Structure formats: C-alpha cells, structure tokens
Amino acid sequence: MFGELIELFVSTWEYLASHGPEFGTALIDHLKLVGVSLGVAMLVCLPLGVWTSRSRFASLTFMNVVNGMRVVPSLAILFLVVPYLGLSVTSAAVALTVLAMPPILINTDAAFRNLDSAILEAAQGMGMTKRQVLFRVEIPLALPVVMTGIRTAAVEVIASATLAAFVGSGGLGIYITRGFAMYDYAILMVGALPVAALTLAAESVLNFLQRALQPPAYGKSM
C-alpha cells in the first residue's frame, strides 16, 4: 500500500515535470478565473449587503433570491449558462460568480445588521456624518464577519473552478478530467493536489486577515 502511494507520487511528479509549461498556463488560468469571479462577486455583494441591511425591501428582494441560489449546484449553473454564452471562459466565470455571491452577501448583510446600535449612536452624538460613521465605525466593525463570507466564497470558488474544464476554459481541472478519461490517477493528482494546496492557502491567509482586522474592543464584546 505504501509502495503504491510512493509510486503514484513519483508518477505524478514525472508527469508534472514533462508538462511544466502546460501546467504553468493551467495554473495561471485557474487563478485568473478565481480572481475575476471573486472580484465581481465582491463588487456586487459588498455594497448590496450594506443596502439590504438598511432596507427591508432590498432585504426581502435580494436575500430570497440569493438563498435560492445556494441550493443550485455550481455544475448545474454552469450548464444553464452554456446555451447562452457558449463553451467559454465567460460561462465558467458567470457560474463561479453566482457561486461566490451568497456567502459574501449573507455575511455582509449580517455584519452590518448586527452592529451595536449604542456604538453607532455614540458616533453620531460626536458629530460624525453618515459617511464618516460608515467608513470610520461601521466598516471596521463589520470587516471580520464580512471576511468570513469572503473566505467561504474563496474556498468554494477555488475548488469549483475545476469545473471550468467541462466547458473548455482551462484551469487545473483539465488534469482531473484527463485523468478520469485515461484512468490515470497520476494525471488526476496533478490537478487535484494543487487545487487542495490553493484551497488550504486561501483558507489560512484569509483567516489570518480576518483575525488581523478584528477590532480588540469588538472581539472582547463578542
């Protein structure tokens, strides 16, 4: 058993060494896809989350839609957009953006909705404008919870970006699909191991950032 495992890793390394340029391109494509999907989701959901926390109409409208999106598998979303956008990177990016939106929006909404009203009233009592309260008080206090949503979305998107291979969009998923097609576990591992490493790295880095952004007074009150 142990010998077979060593042989598998040796075969994986040999395949990776012989396909270095292709692997580099696949890794870059994977990271670009993740970056674009997360970036768009954050640009849409961060301000939207602030709005839903303040507006009952926006909350009822958008939160219900987002909660419905959470039950749809990312692979299903991918194949739903293919007839309209074709087998392209755009299809994969749209599917991954939809996947990333719910955790970011839900956590942003919860972060701003559950801020201590006494702190906000004190800030207003000091003469701060609404803009100053938002940027100097609300955002710093809400950031740790918002970062939790971003971290969840990042982990899900990095893992699910392998599905881009199904629509010919490249990324590390090409090795997973190729490994399954050829019944070769070494090729499959060339895609699976880097995805696992990227996922763990994103989890660790974003968890560190979340802790670094935690205001001392806020952390003690929790």
pLDDT of residue 220: 45
Dihedral sign (CA 74, 44, 68, 151)? positive
Residue 28 included in any domain: no
Q: What is the pLDDT of residues 131-190, one digit of tens each?
A: 888 888 888 888 999 999 999 999 999 988 888 777 767 788 888 888 888 888 888 888
pLDDT: which is higher, 185 or 5: 185
CATH code for the domain in which residue 63 is found: 1.10.3720.10
Alpha-carbon gap, residue 60 to 178, rounded angstroms: 44
Residue 76 included in any domain: yes
Alpha-carbon gap, residue 174 to 142, rounded angstroms: 38
pLDDT of residue 2: 66
> Looking at the 3D structure of the chain, how many domains does it have?
1
Dihedral sign (CA 123, 129, 130, 135)? negative
Residue type (1 letter), 125:
G
Q: Compute the mean pLDDT over every residue in the chain, rounded to the nearest whole number.
A: 83
Give which of 109, 110, 206, 112 is closest to 153, Cα–Cα.
206
pLDDT band at residue 42 using 50, 70 and 90 as cut-offs: very high
Q: Is the pLDDT of residue 74 over 80?
A: no
Mean pLDDT, residues 82-99 taken together: 81
Most confident of 18-22, 48-52, 87-91: 48-52
Residue 22 included in any domain: no
Residue 181 included in any domain: no
Alpha-carbon gap, residue 188 to 186, rounded angstroms: 5
CA angle 147, 141, 145 (to 5 degrees): 25
Alpha-carbon gap, residue 132 to 52, rounded angstroms: 20
Give which of 163, 145, 194 is closest to 15, Cα–Cα.
194
Instruction: Give the side-chain half-sphere CA count within 13 A for 137.
Output: 20
Residue 183 included in any domain: no
pLDDT: which is higher, 109 or 80: 109
pLDDT of residue 219: 43
pLDDT of residue 108: 94
Lowest mean per-residue pLDDT among 9-18, 26-35, 116-125, 150-159:
9-18
pLDDT of residue 216: 66
Residue 57 buriedness (CB in 10 A; 0-12 / 13-18 / 19+):
exposed
Mean pLDDT, residues 66-78 taken together: 73
Please, are residues 22 and 191 in contact by the beta-carbon 8 Å criterion? no
Residue 123 included in any domain: yes
pLDDT of residue 1: 61
pLDDT band at residue 130 using 50, 70 and 90 as cut-offs: confident
Residue 75 included in any domain: yes
pLDDT band at residue 115 using 50, 70 and 90 as cut-offs: confident
Residue 24 included in any domain: no
pLDDT band at residue 217 using 50, 70 and 90 as cut-offs: low
Report the percentage of the chain scoring pLDDT > 90: 27
**Which residue segment(s) compose the domain that 203 sits in?**
33-160+193-221
